[in-house]
Structure 1
């Protein structure tokens, strides 16, 4: 076996250690290692740079231009270098991504955060999560503070205005979830199908007085859900009743329930499942039976929806897919690919459970 001094003198080549079977030995340094021996000259020739530049890109990426570094590391990955994916995370080599959510206590964002984290772990990337507590002022400050410390940011369900977001995303890569903005990659849920199915389902059960309880007025998702609800009601020649806006939490649903009773509606579609839970709880406290006397539909299909009593009929969306796709889109943008990939849409659909029924169903 050759001694360590006999290895190539190039600094990058010194990082290679092999046993008798040609496998990389157990060094735990965060330098790039190889599954098979590929001379730097091969990578240099492929990219069109010198071997010294290849060496610097692998050892000191901060000394190499971004586009050159990305090309070299991509070639190194094809040549068998293990760790090239981590090197693609930016010349800082930090491999850290930020995720900004409006309310981490909301099960929707808990599931979303977990799906982002699981996807990033596959690439050896760390995640920093920030909760804006539904405050647009806090959101802007958080993103501004976070950007210099990470390689890119995922912003979920932003409450900021379009111009405010545009001002923040002029530097590092940003991917939006449930928000569309020209020039920024985004993962959005198409609520039109699910909303239409919810209205048609309630109408088929005999309901004619159906209301929508709004979430935050600054929420893009709320606007899409309300518009889809109104369009579906208009197609059925039914008058849409709109309550709110309310905080997108349990307490917001409690408030909406009292308005629904006062207005004489027989079915209500809530902005999200948390509000739907609040509505059902308030109705129960007032002796109004769900679904016998009032039907309730939510949005999101959070894990608790199927075990609530009665189980909640809701418009389901693939929360996990939203998180995974956003993470992958940001990783590609950081690697210099698809910086502006436009919007990718995820479909929604109604899941019928025990919170909806015909009017006076228990008496029939």
Structure 2
């Protein structure tokens, strides 16, 4: 008998307890048991552990501490609603930086804020990647859950039960924004809404309402508008007509559009109207005037999402809390000032 051949792999053959008996005791196929012992990386961790323990008890020479080789990751996919939005550009750069450290390539897709196209884009991408980061998805929950059955998935700024996600929590930053404006004497503050299907929009709107109510102020809102410069241009005229003295926009791009339209109408920022955005994109600090904005580290968000996905693809267990939150805060610049009404 060739002893070397008999002991090759993760176990030594013991004829008195064949693999079929171990398989029957666990309710598994013989091929699954054999695969777990010879190629453990091909078997689910919980199944592999049960087989290893049963084989050890049956007298097979099994190393229970042995870990399967790490799964090789060739590429991951990143799907964003609009790559022209600086928030997603910063997120992209963060994901790329983290992937470079692991020698993994990236496949990028831009859905152009179109929910119907998003599903088709993801379907085309899935066969080409080992996992997926889905940022600010407009898909419904059932569609997202279906994706998980095909490939490991991590969500950014979207929460679906049981799926790992990284979410920027706007509550603290929004409260700071409202308190900042109230301290400047503003009482007529309006929130300009972004996309209806956006989780970020709902969270920012709700946080705005809570902060306003806490101060005894009416929480007025207008919109929704496209989350772009043009959307802000449209919103500016409505805000002026409402007689408000301060605006909190869904994102910085809309805030830029608002400020541009106000300037064309001769409404000075911040002398006549204060403006606050969200995301604190790079252009916020160099806009004229520099934009006060609520920030939640986009770079850290991209890093956390990428690390979570790499762990998932590698077969490591999910963290106890699959939804991880990044806190927000207000960055005060020159686009906010004292209320002109005194």
Structure 1 residue 351 and structure 2 residue 334: aligned?
Answer: no
* 2:282 paired residue among 299, 303, 319: 303
SS of the counterpart of 1:122? helix
Superposition deviation, residue 75 in structure 1: 5.5
- Partner Cα separation in structure 2 for residue 344 and residue 112 of structure 1: 16
Partner Cα distance (1:265, 1:224) in 2: 22
Instruction: Please say which of residues 288-297 and 154-163 is displaced more in the overlay.
Output: 154-163
Where does structure 2 lack aligned partners over 5 or more consecutive residues?
12-33, 53-62
TM-superposed CA distance for 1:359, in Å, is 1.9
Q: Quick one: distance in 1 between partners of 2:317 and 2:132?
A: 15
Match of 2:164 among 185, 190, 198: 185
Give the match for residue 268 of structure 1.
247
Partner residue in 2 for 1:136: 115
SS for the counterpart of 1:290 is coil
Contact 2:280–2:293 (8 Å) recurs in 1: yes
Q: Tell me, in whole angstroms, the C-alpha distance in 2 between the residues paired with 1:331 and 1:226.
A: 33
Task: Report the CA distance between 1:95 and its aligned residue.
Answer: 1.4
Establish whether residue 290 from structure 1 lines up as the match of residue 269 from structure 2. Answer: yes
Match of 1:316 among 286, 295, 303: 295
Partner of 2:203: 224
| Unaligned stretches of 5+ residues in structure 1 | 1-9, 11-39, 46-51, 78-83
1-side partners of 2:148 and 2:278: how far apart?
A: 29
**Secondary structure in 1 matching 2:325:** strand
Equivalent position of 1:215 in the other structure? 194
Q: Deviations over 1:107-140 (max 9, x none)?
A: 1000101100111111111100000000000111
> Do residues 150 (structure 1) and 133 (structure 2) align?
no
Give how far 1:163 is off.
Answer: 2.0
Q: Distance in 1 between matches of 2:312 and 2:318?
A: 4
Q: 1:88 aligns with which of 71, 76, 99?
A: 71
How far the C-alpha of 1:57 sits from its partner, in A, is: 5.5
How is 1:68-83 mapped onto 2 (pairs within 5 angstroms)? none
Name the SS for the 2:102 alignment partner.
coil
Deviation, 1:164, is 2.2
> Residues 57 and 355 from structure 1, CA distance in 2 versus in 1: closer, same or farther, beyond 3 angstroms?
same
**Is 1:244 equivalent to 2:218 in the alignment?**
no
1:112 and 2:95 matched: no
Give 1:177 shift.
0.2
Q: How does 1:18-29 map to 2 (within 5 A)?
A: none
Deviation, structure 1 residue 44: 4.3
**Corresponding residue for 2:140?**
161
Shift of 1:154: 0.2
Tell me, what secondary structure is at the counterpart of 1:289? Answer: coil
**Does the 8 A contact of 1:254 with 1:279 survive in 2?**
yes
TM-score if structure 1 supplies the norm length?
A: 0.76
| Aligned mates of 1:129, 1:290 — CA distance in 2 | 37
Q: Quote the RMSD (CA, aligned, Å).
A: 2.8
SS of the equivalent of 1:127 reads strand
- Bigger shift: 167-176 or 211-220? 167-176
Describe the SS at the equivalent of 1:111.
helix
Is the contact between residue 190 and residue 347 of structure 1 (CA under 8 Å) also seen in structure 2?
Answer: yes
Q: How far off its partner does 1:313 sit?
A: 0.3
Tell me if structure 2 keeps the 8 A contact 1:152–1:330. Answer: yes
Once the 2 structures are TM-superposed, how far is the Cα of residue 148 of structure 1 from its aligned partner? Answer: 2.0
- How far, CA to CA, are the matches of 1:339 and 1:149 in structure 2? 24
> 2:176: which partner in 1?
197
